[in-house]
Amino acid sequence: MDSAWLVPAALAFGVLVGAGVAVILVISAGRGRTAHEVVNSSVPDGVDQVIEALESAGVVIDPSNNVVKASPGALSYGLVWNGALVHPELVQLVDQVRRNGEPVTEELHLARGPFGEASIYLSVRVARLGARYVLLLAEDRTESYRLDEVRRDFIANISHELKTPIGAVGLLAEALVSASKEPEQVKRFAKRLTKESERLARITQEIIELSRLQATDTLTKTDRVDIDYVVASAIDQNRVAAEANKVVIVSGGDAGAEVFGDETLLTTAVDNLISNAIQYSPNGSRVGVGVSRRDGVVEIAVTDQGVGIPEDEIDRVFERFFRTDPARARNTGGSGLGLSIVKHVVQNHGGDIRVWSQPGNGSTFTIRLPEASHAAAASLGAS
């Protein structure tokens, strides 16, 4: 063979071998990637993003019960700690689903986090995710459980509230019949009969008012309402109670404020605040009602020097049927509905209500409402 061909032939052979090796490497690298994807493809595409976007709790668990992905909600509910599920109840559900393959849904009452004292009500759904993983989704039901509890308490309370005066009316009627020949006794029983029937009427009225307010979120009647008149009427409606409790009501502040709304409802709201201020104050104390107008906001503040509200219960006083001290509230004829009526009225008027209170030092409830002149000016400006 001619040696002149040897060098190019060797070169061509070298290039061929190199190209072959390169092709084999590329193919095998591709195969490797495919194999990796096959392993991971059991966590369906996009699960990461879905878990990330969840507001509630979402957790992906691997075959060794390690948490491979958890939503921020799962962390804030305290379900995950150190890369694992905190609650044995949840681990049990996960194991069960892994064994049976069937999804399960359960309502659970769990401790919040690994060492906290608080608890949380969860609606939990567990299902398989691909071949290897298990998905756990949980919704916080604590609020609705708490409302149910308040509602159950209310039914117990309201039955008691109604049973007591109804029973008393029956007994007093019997007493009236047997004392018919003694005018003094008849007078005494009749007076008590009137008081009990007034109490019954008040509780019934409050329940009706609250249902009416909750049925509509916006006002049907919106006139210009004179706040001075509202405050004066509400104070007037409490004169007798104030005198009976030797409480002095003082009022003051900015005059001439007006809001758009329903005069009767607003009077009821201020009336309820003043009535509470009197009920929960000692004899001889003062209740202040102040009106202020600032930057298009009308504030009506009712201040007392009474028993105050414990700090941990302050957020709950506007809940329907909630009473900080049921026994005392029962004596005062309270039903726990007054403040929730106030809150609804104020919200329906586009305002809000705030409370400051300190046990032993008294409370201030402040209603804030948009001022009519400001609202009118704003709409004129906009047109």
| Rounded CA Rg of the chain | 35
Q: In 3D, which of 75, 69, 74, 77 has the Cα closest to residue 57?
A: 74
Report residue 82 as tokens. Answer: 């150190």
Q: How far is the CB of 341 from ligand ADP (least distance, A)?
A: 8
Question: Least distance (Å) from ligand ADP to the CB of residue 45?
Answer: 53
Q: Which is nearer to ligand ADP, 57 or 301 (CB)?
A: 301
Cβ 293 to ligand ADP, closest distance in Å?
A: 24
In the complex, least distance from residue 203 CB atom to ligand ADP, rounded to whole angstroms = 9
Cβ of residue 287: shortest distance to ligand ADP, in angstroms? Answer: 9
Min dist. Cβ of residue 213 to ligand ADP (A): 13
Q: Which is nearer to ligand ADP, 162 or 186 (CB)?
A: 162
Nearer to ligand ADP, 233 or 272 (CB): 272
| 231-270 exposure pattern, b = at least 16 Cβ within 10 A, e = fewer | bebbbebbeeebeebebebebebeeebbbbbbbebbbbbb
**C-beta closer to ligand ADP: residue 228 or 325:** 325
> Cα(28)–Cα(4) distance, rounded to whole angstroms?
38
Task: Specify the DSSP class assigned to residue 55.
Answer: S
Q: How far is the CB of 163 from ligand ADP (least distance, A)?
A: 17
CA distances in angstroms from 373 to 296, 298, 349, listed in the order given: 8, 11, 15
Q: Which is nearer to ligand ADP, 344 or 368 (by Cβ)?
A: 344
> E strand or H helix at 226, and its extent?
strand 223-226
* Closer to ligand ADP by Cβ: residue 226 or 304: 304
Antiparallel, parallel or unpaired: β 248-253 and 286-294: parallel
What is the enclosing helix (H) or strand (E) of 2?
Answer: none
Work out how close the CB of 331 gets to ligand ADP at its nearest, in angstroms, rounded to a whole number: 10
Helices (H), the chain: 3-40, 47-53, 72-76, 88-100, 142-178, 183-215, 227-237, 239-244, 263-279, 326-331, 338-348, 372-382
Q: Give the span between the Cα atoms of 349 and 222, in whole angstroms.
A: 9
Which residue, 86 or 207, has its beta carbon nearer to ligand ADP?
A: 207
CB proximity list for 100: less than 8 A, separation 6 or greater:
none
Nearer of residues 268 and 272 to ligand ADP, judged by Cβ: 272
Applying CB under 6 A, the residues found at the interface with ligand ADP are 272, 276-277, 280, 304, 306-309, 317, 322-325, 329, 334-340, 363
Give the sign of the dihedral formed by CA 210, CA 212, CA 217, CA 222: negative
**Tokens read off for 99:** 């064994």
Which of 236, 216, 213, 234 has its CA nearest to residue 225?
234
d(CA 263, CA 302): 18
Structure tokens, 49: 């993003």
- Quote the least distance from Cβ 338 to ligand ADP, whole Å: 3
Supply the minimum distance, in Å, between the C-beta of residue 370 and ligand ADP: 24
Other beta carbons within 10 angstroms of residue 371's beta carbon come to: 20
Residue 66 or 205: the one with the smaller Cβ distance to ligand ADP is 205
Q: Which is nearer to ligand ADP, 223 or 315 (CB)?
A: 315
